[in-house]
Each structure stands twice: as C-alpha cells, then as structure tokens.
Structure 1
C-alpha cells in the first residue's frame, strides 16, 4: 500500500481580542486637541499602550518612533520601591490615544455643578484590539509603566492623561517638550527634530532642526563625503571611521546661525524658508574638498585622526566661513574652488601624524577644548590670509 499523500493542515492561529475598557474620566479641550484624564491600575497601562522606540526602517532609513530604550537600572529602582508595599506614586503617565475611543458625557443636574468651565465628566470607552495591537502610545512614563507591569503591586492606581492623536509627528513633539527638562540626550532630541513642526518648538530647539535635517542628508546621499559615516542614536554605522552626529549638527548650526556663517544667506529664502538643497550642495562640496585635500586623515577613525574628531570638524567648519567669505558661492564646480583654497593651509596641518609646527605640539595633543580649537583656528586663518595675499 502506498503511503498516504494527505497532509495534515495546521489549525489557523486565531488572535484573541482584548476586552474593551470603560472608565470614569474627564474630557476637555486644549487648542485643537481633545484630552482625557482618568485613573488606571498601573499594570493595565501596558495592556492599552505601547512604547514607540526610535529606530529607522526600510532602504531609505525612515525615522519611526521616538522613545529611548528603557533604562534598566531606573526601572529596577522604581520596581523595588513599588514592591515594598503601598506608597505614594502620583506621577501621571501621558499617552497619545487614537480617536477610536468613545466618550459619553454624564447627564443630569449634577453636571451643572462642575466647578471648571469646559470640563465634562463621563465614561470613556477604550476599544479592545487583537493581541499585539495597542490603542495608545506612551509619551511620558515609559520606565514607570514598565516597572508597574512587573511589580507585585502593579494594581496601584495611577493617574493618566491622554490626548487624542493619530499623528506620530504630534507624539514626537510632545515627547521632546515633556522631556526637555530631564536628562534626555541631546543627540536623540536632534535626531527627532527634523520630523517635528518647528513652529511648535521653543526657539532653542528649533535652531537645531535644519542642521539635523542636513546631517541626515549628508549621511544618506551616496554623493556625500559623509555617506553612511555619521553615527546617530538610531543608526550605528558598521565602519570604525565614523563621525558623531552632535559634532556635525553643531558645525552646521554655526554655519547657518553664526553672524559670519557660510550658510547664513540661505537661512531665509523668501517665503520658502531655508534653502536646504543649496545648503546641502555647499556643505557636500566643501567637505568633499576637505576629504580630497587630506585623504589619509579623512579615512581614519577619530582616535587616529583629529580631522574626523569633533575638534577637526569644528576647526574646518570655521575655515569654511573664511574660504566662502573670500571666494563667494556662485561657482559651477565649488569643490574644485574649495580644494584650491584648502591647499593653501594644508602644509600647516598635522591631523594624524607629525606636529603642528606653528603651535609646537604633536598631532595627538589637539583636544576638543575651546582653547585648543581656538589656537588651531587662529593658526590656519593667519596662514590662509598670508597665502591668499601672494
């Protein structure tokens, strides 16, 4: 008898759907947004809300998410405090919640006695979702929520404030604003800024939005001398000769916002705002010229070349201002012009070997301090003026 050819079909996996949740809540408006305030047992927060961690996806390295990775030590400390028993834990968790929730305002004479105008009391219903899907995202309180979900006292009631939004851009904006007074890494803030609306940000944060966006362009375009060599919070290059994004962002910001910055004239181009395309063109051309003038130093990691370290980026950024002030910007082949100008100071430089003769110090004594970078800038600026006068 021939063996049976019948195949046993595996039963389809059916996703279970979480039950909906109805809560007493207050509803009010802030600008165009609807906001809810309610209370939940701490270990229930993770059932309705997810954490959108910052990462990049796809071939275009599109930025998604906004949360930093959980800090295990902090989570453990919170958990230890909760496990000691009932205690005071009044810090509110802030959520961005989808418009799929429904709110039924209470009716009757008691409603007339609400003491704050514009606030409605009622019942908020949070719909159930299949396993793995959430109806909200944690904007603030990631570590507290993790600790509560793991604690034996996770039933502790926790205040929650949730604003309706389907927009990840709005989530990022609120995440930055809520965390700016805390030790949130500036590199993470800078990386998130290009995906936010700068009109809603404080002036000091908005100043880094354009530089960070240009940093993204320099890292993502194959023609750029920085292509895939800039380390960002969400993106760790595999090669060792990388640049730290904070140094690149700071260098660009000084060119855009400085009183003598090489990109200042492109900061406001009529009603269109900053001319990012032209800024990128000039930055790419200039730093390609730097790479051409110092090829060996350009392809070494920061510990073996001061050119690729923060001090090298700072110094050569200032030299971009000096050179552009002399040669202007209207060139069909700006890289060739910049290369010619950089050769005037090449003999003074000791980025990866030898000594800075004009400063009387070995190459590796150059440090990222104001005093050290100022000395090199003065040396190269003076050399450039002398060579240009010949």
Structure 2
C-alpha cells in the first residue's frame, strides 16, 4: 500500500497551519509516523529532537494497553512537512486526508513517543487511537512547534534548551536562553574548546558538567557582564566562546588536581555551584583585569590556590559560616555565598596588583626624574 486515506476533522486554529484530528489503528500509525531521536554527528551538528526512551514508562503503558478495558484518549501529535494532502473541507470541518508512503513515513512524532513505542509492543490487538496532525511549512517550523508544544509538558528542560538554537520565532523567555544554549553546545563539541566533551547534554550523556550551569554563566554575563557588549560585535559569538573556553582552561590548569578525573560528587569544582560561582570570578578578571587568554585568567586565579575546599576540608565564608566542602549545594544561597567568598579574594588581589604596579611606576618615574636632574 502506497497511500493511506482517513476521514478527518479540520480545526479552525492558526491561519498559517493546518490542524487535523482523525482515528487510526496503531499499525497504520507506525506506517506513516516515525520518532527521531536527538543526536549529534562528529561535527556537533544536531539532528532529531525526541528524548531517549524511558523503558519503565513504556512498559507500564504497554501493560495497561493489553488489558481489555484499556483506553487511550490522549492523541499522538504528528507533524508533516510534505507528502500529505487534505481534500475539500465542508462546512462542519470534515475532510479526507491522504498520506503518501512511497518514500517511507513522512510524519514525525511531536508528542506521544512513549505511547507509540508502547503500542508497537502490544501484539494481541490493533489498538485504535486518535492522531492530531499538524502540517508545517518546513522542518524549522516543525522544530518550533515541537518546542512550543512540549515546553509546558514534563519534558527535560535540558532537551528543550539544546534544541533552542535550531528554532526561530520563540517567546522571549525562551529566545533569551537560545544564545546560551548555542554557546554551551559549541563549548561541548568544538575541537578548540577547553570544555569539549565535559558538558552533560542529551546528546552527550557522559558529560559531567550540567549544561544548565554553563548556560547560567553565559546568561548572567550577557545580561549584566562582559558579554553584554561583546556579543554585539560582528564576531560576538566567537568572542564569547573564546572567553568562556579560555577561562575554564585556566581553571583546569590552576586547579588541575581538583578537576582531573573528578565528578560533581567528588569535587565542587565541576559541580554546578562551583561552575556558576567561578563564572562571577571570570567577570571580575575580564572586566577589572582585562583578562582574555587562559594565561591572563590563570594569573588572576592564582590567589585562590590554597584557599579553596573543592575536594576536602572546609569553606570559611565568614561571620561564623563554615561549611564542609561537600555541603555546598547547587542552590542559590550556596552559590551566592561561594561566589562572594571567591570574588572578595580575587578583587583584593586585583587591587593589590594594581597598587603594586602603580607603586613600581611611581618609583620608575622618580628614578628617571632624578637622572634627568
């Protein structure tokens, strides 16, 4: 069979999209709809958009569907960009929808992947289900609909964020994070990045640093820090990328023993709290010390050596606030306390180095003046 035709109802919703609803057998749905798992190639290019399967959840749905009294009222949402035709629509919205299968399944599952997978594992009956079909102009619009539809559902936020750079026309609250997500992905996959392979994403589940932590460093900087003006430059993305990469290269150099072979459980340096707190140190060194290269940042970080408790000991945040190194958690209060502690040391060091440089300059001027006389 090269074509499937169903009687459908067209909803009057968006003027730029066609939205249809119809009932199909599970076996028919599997002929025209597929699930694209999110992945990246060796160059870091993103493809697909669905999260990995959750085996336990699928098994529960399958066991339920095998019962005689099972119902599945929630529709599977499928998006099409081509090979689907909608016949004349009558006054009540009724029409025929024809799906061309010659080149394979043209539909992509936007919502309901776990249900569809569970349906494929039910063998003793061909369950009939509802499909909500959305016809999109192109794949970019399809991705946009996926993000918008799933953003209010309990999908992992990190998956939504990883997809954001491929989508345009988003609400501002999502658009603002798109730059951070783009830079985080570049930091994770660019061969020149000091963080290559370190960042946990759905396409890199072996990463140890949470993508949301790196994104927060970038968001803070773009909002109120050094990147605010930097990103406006013609090569702004590259400048921001280099800044973050060089800073964490310096972190790895200065605190090599606390970084190498560690996880967030064994070192607060690669923990979300440490990553975000150090982001504020990056701002101080970039803004007040003019640091851009990893050597510049390493010089500014040197004052912290012997005064941290990344993997053992205690933090002394002052005013009687002493913490076991492992008690620092990824919560705003702890991040602020850690950032303030580190920032105070670094700011004082910058001031001291400036004062020493000024004193040396004054001495040199005095010597030259004396010689001139």
TM-score range, shorter chain: 0.7 to 0.9
1:267 shift after superposition: 4.5
1:279 shift after superposition: 0.9
Residue in 1 aligned with 2:174? 205
Residue in 1 aligned with 2:262? 301
Residue in 2 aligned with 1:105? 88
The answer to which structure has the higher helix fraction is: 2
Q: 1:78 to 1:228 in 2, by over 3 A?
A: closer
1:304 shift after superposition: 2.8
Q: Among 208, 215, 221, which residue is 2:184 paired with? A: 215
Q: 1:168 to 1:326 in 2, by over 3 A?
A: same
Count of aligned pairs: 347
Q: 1:67 to 1:154 in 2, by over 3 A?
A: farther
Task: Report SS of the residue matched to 2:185.
Answer: helix
CA-based RMSD of the aligned residues comes to 2.7
- Of 353-362 and 96-105, deviating more is 353-362
1:208 shift after superposition: 1.8
The answer to whether the Cα contact below 8 Å between 2:254 and 2:301 also exists between their aligned partners in 1 is yes
Residue in 2 aligned with 1:188? 159
Residue in 2 aligned with 1:60? 43
Paired with 1:370 and 1:123, the residues of 2 have a C-alpha distance of 54
Paired with 2:82 and 2:347, the residues of 1 have a C-alpha distance of 62
Q: 1:361 to 1:74 in 2, by over 3 A?
A: closer
Task: Report SS of the residue matched to 2:110.
Answer: strand
The answer to whether the Cα contact below 8 Å between 2:23 and 2:131 also exists between their aligned partners in 1 is yes
1:102 shift after superposition: 2.5
1:81 shift after superposition: 3.2
The unaligned stretches of length 5 or more in structure 1 are: 1-17
Q: 1:33 to 1:255 in 2, by over 3 A?
A: same
Establish whether residue 344 from structure 1 lines up as the match of residue 303 from structure 2. Answer: yes
TM normalised by structure 2 equals: 0.83
1:351 shift after superposition: 2.0
Q: Among 51, 54, 60, which residue is 2:35 paired with? A: 51
Q: 1:326 to 1:156 in 2, by over 3 A?
A: same
Q: Among 92, 96, 99, which residue is 2:75 paired with? A: 92
- What whole-Å deviation, never above 9, does each CA across 1:155-181 have from its counterpart, x for those lacking one? 444222222247333332222222222
The answer to whether the Cα contact below 8 Å between 1:190 and 1:208 also exists between their aligned partners in 2 is yes
Residue in 2 aligned with 1:8? none
Residue in 1 aligned with 2:201? 232
Paired with 1:300 and 1:363, the residues of 2 have a C-alpha distance of 18
Establish whether residue 179 from structure 1 lines up as the match of residue 179 from structure 2. Answer: no
The unaligned stretches of length 5 or more in structure 2 are: 353-373
Q: 1:105 to 1:146 in 2, by over 3 A?
A: same
Paired with 1:340 and 1:312, the residues of 2 have a C-alpha distance of 19
